[in-house]
Structure 1
Amino acid sequence: MHVLLTEAKFGDCDALSKPLRDNGCRVSRCHARDGICLALVPGSSCPLDDRADPPVLAVDVRDAGDELTAREFGVVCALRKQVPVAIVPPEPGLPVAAPAGLEDRVTVTDAETLLATCQAAVAIPRPRPEPAGAIG
């Protein structure tokens, strides 16, 4: 399962990255370490444009602020690509809210529930595509 991470503030999604990987997810981020959108970095591309293994879920780590920060624009990109978006707080127990205008388009959850859902999704056996030229 390929998960795309974005965040309201630099470093907010760091704590979620390793647990997602430990649960069998491939994790990509919207931004390079210097904060630039990967679609704008020379020689790079947006993970949402990956045709072989596109993200099936975008996760935005944010607090209870009403408006998207510039670091969260990946939420809009994901929604445009019809990729579901989950919103989680940067720390357990902190209040979290969907950005204004997106309340009906995203799911607000916590990291523990998100990890359990991802773990269950990764455990579902998927049929392997047949090699080209295979005769059935």
Structure 2
Amino acid sequence: MRILVTEAGFDESREIAAELRDLGCRVSPCHVRSGVCRALSPGGTCPLDEEDRPDLAVDVRGTEPGLTSREFGVVCALRKRVPVVMTTTAETGAPAVPPGFEDRVTACPPEDLFDACRAFLRNRA
């Protein structure tokens, strides 16, 4: 399972991305280390434009109501018809879903995301 990961703030997705990798998922970040969108970086490409594009996009966010500029990959994924899950690193349950995205994304705590990925990977084997 290939997962595109984006985040509200710099480096907020590190732990979730590591856990997804430990489960056996192939994780592709939206940004290069400097924080620039991969498609806009010199010589870069977006994972969503690749032949083996992600099966799922995961946005790691907090409780702020609107998208940050680091989360624009959510819009890109939705335009490419890739399902989007919003999750959080906080112990507060599901993250806030920005207005206008309520019927377009799934919001859940990290453990629910990990359980769904485990089930997906089990069924694929």
TM normalised by structure 1 equals: 0.87
**SS of residue paired to 2:72:** helix
Deviations 1:50-71 (A, max 9, x none): 10x2101100011111111000
Equivalent in the alignment of 2:48 = 48
Equivalent in the alignment of 1:131 = none
* Distance apart, 1:27 and its partner CA: 0.1
Measure, in 2, the Cα distance between the counterparts of 1:125 and 1:75.
25
Amino acid at match of 1:117: A
Q: How many residue pairs end up in the alignment?
A: 125
Q: Quick check: 1:6–1:71 contact (8 Å CA) kept in 2?
A: yes
* Distance apart, 1:75 and its partner CA: 0.2
* Distance apart, 1:109 and its partner CA: 0.3
Measure, in 1, the Cα distance between the counterparts of 2:98 and 2:92.
18
- 1:51-70 equivalences in 2 (<5 Å): 51=51, 53-70=52-69
Amino acid at match of 1:68: L
Q: Highest CA radius of gyration, 1 or 2?
A: 1
* Distance apart, 1:125 and its partner CA: 3.1
Equivalent in the alignment of 1:132 = none
* Distance apart, 1:95 and its partner CA: 5.8
Q: Which has the higher helix share?
A: 2
Measure, in 2, the Cα distance between the counterparts of 1:56 and 1:26.
10
* Distance apart, 1:88 and its partner CA: 0.5
* Distance apart, 1:92 and its partner CA: 2.4
Q: Measured at CA, do residues 123 and 8 of structure 1 come closer, stay the same or move farther in structure 2, by a change above 3 Å?
A: same
* Structure 1: runs of 5 or more not aligned: 127-136
Equivalent in the alignment of 2:97 = 98
Amino acid at match of 1:61: V
Equivalent in the alignment of 1:109 = 108
Percent of aligned pairs with the same amino acid? 50
Measure, in 1, the Cα distance between the counterparts of 2:49 and 2:85.
19
* Structure 2: runs of 5 or more not aligned: none
Measure, in 2, the Cα distance between the counterparts of 1:66 and 1:19.
26
* Distance apart, 1:44 and its partner CA: 1.7
Q: Quick check: 1:89–1:96 contact (8 Å CA) kept in 2?
A: yes
Equivalent in the alignment of 1:16 = 16
